[in-house]
Amino acid sequence: MGEAPVFLRGVEIRPGYLDRAAQEEMVEDIRDVARAAPLFSPETRFGKKMSVQMTSAGTYGWYSDRRGYRYERRHPSGVDWPPIPASVLAVWHAVTGVERAPDCCLVNFYREGARMGLHQDRDEADFGWPVLSISLGDSALFRIGSVERGGKTESVWLNSGDVCVIGGEARLVHHGIDRIRAGSSTLLADGGRINLTLRVVD
Ligand code: MD3
Ligand code: FE
């Protein structure tokens, strides 16, 4: 499906892995997730509200406030996170080849102007498991650096339907989203970008 993979600093990008029909189905499934567990804007541990809105599906959801970054068993409203949609799990198994199901599907929603600063994903217990990311909607300028802070970085646009697999050496590299190209996709009626990130947590 889609074009040949592209490798950027150990991150494997599968351009156009999901066709339009698969993207539309997945958006409907994510709308159901967000109905059960509404999007919210977490505070960083420095007390600043993030510009990205989030929610999760699965056993754990990612959460942040002044106490720090962590996984929680429940949405801030107190409800359990809804199950990870089958359409999303199918992509995880097909692309990673891993038998174990992910514990968390983090849903990131970017409106125009939202961004995510360079960071590492290190709230999980075992960095041996891969991470999988699915992009839906407007294109995003993705920046990737190195494991060490302050190294050189390279950028690439992630487009709707692209899937990234992060494993091995790349698992602890710094990465972030610099900006969203508003109006670049017709997938979401009101615009914006959804990113799904699947992880094994414990
Ligand atoms: C590279 N999300 O939620 S996904 C995040 O597009 C996050 O919303 C971005 O970074 C987004 O933590 C990027 C692609 C991605 C995900 C995890 C990675 C790239 C990664 C882990 C290690 C290295
Ligand atoms: Fe990340």
The answer to whether 124 touches 201, Cβ cutoff 8 Å, is yes
Domain assignment present for 47? yes
pLDDT value of residue 117: 96
Question: What per-residue confidence (pLDDT) applies to 138?
Answer: 99
Q: Ligand 1: does its nearest atom lie under 6 Å from the Cβ of 163? A: no
Query: Nearest-CA neighbor of 101 among 20, 2, 3, 199?
Result: 199
Domain assignment present for residue 103? The answer is yes
Question: Which tens digit of pLDDT belongs to each residue from 97-142?
Answer: 999 999 999 999 999 999 999 999 999 999 999 999 999 999 999 9
Residue 146 located in a structural domain: yes
* CA 103 to ligand 2 center in whole angstroms: 16
Say which CATH number the domain at 115 has. 2.60.120.590
pLDDT attached to residue 153: 97
Q: Is the CB of 108 under 6 A from ligand 1?
A: yes
CA of 149 to the centre of ligand 1 (A): 16
* Count: domains in the chain: 1
Q: Which range marks the domain in which residue 191 is found? A: 6-199
- The pLDDT score that the predictor gives to residue 12 is 97
Q: Which of 176, 144, 172 is nearest to 52 (CA)?
A: 176
Residue 194: CB within 6 Å of ligand 1? Answer: no
Q: Are the C-beta atoms of residues 70 and 137 closer than 8 Å to each other?
A: no
DSSP state letters, 51-108: SSEEEEEES-EEEEETTEEEEESB-TTSPBPPPPPHHHHHHHHHHH--SSPPSEEEEE
Q: Output the CA 120–ligand 2 centroid distance in Å.
A: 6
Domain-located, residue 1: no
Q: Are 192 and 110 in contact (CB under 8 A)?
A: yes
pTM > 0.95: yes
pLDDT tens per residue across span 64-95: 999 999 999 999 999 999 999 999 999 999 99
Q: Which secondary-structure segment (H or E) carries 25?
A: helix 20-36
Say if 51 falls within a structural domain.
yes
10-44 confidence digits (pLDDT tens): 999 999 999 999 999 999 999 999 999 999 999 99
Q: DSSP E strands: which ranges in the chain? A: 6-8, 11-14, 53-58, 61-65, 68-72, 104-110, 116-119, 131-137, 139-144, 154-158, 163-166, 175-181, 193-199
Determine the pLDDT at residue 2: 84
Whether 10 is in a domain gets the answer yes
Q: Does the beta carbon of 173 lie inside 6 Å of ligand 1?
A: yes
Please give the pLDDT value at position 164. 98
Testing ligand 1's pocket by substitution, the residue of 138, 166, 181, 198 carrying the most ligand atoms inside 8 A of its CB is: 166
Closest atom of ligand 1 to 52 CA is 8
Q: What is the pLDDT of residues 147-158, one digit of tens each?
A: 999 999 999 999
200 lines ligand 1 (CB under 6 A): no
Q: Tell whether 189 is covered by a domain.
A: yes
Looking at residue 141, its amino acid is L
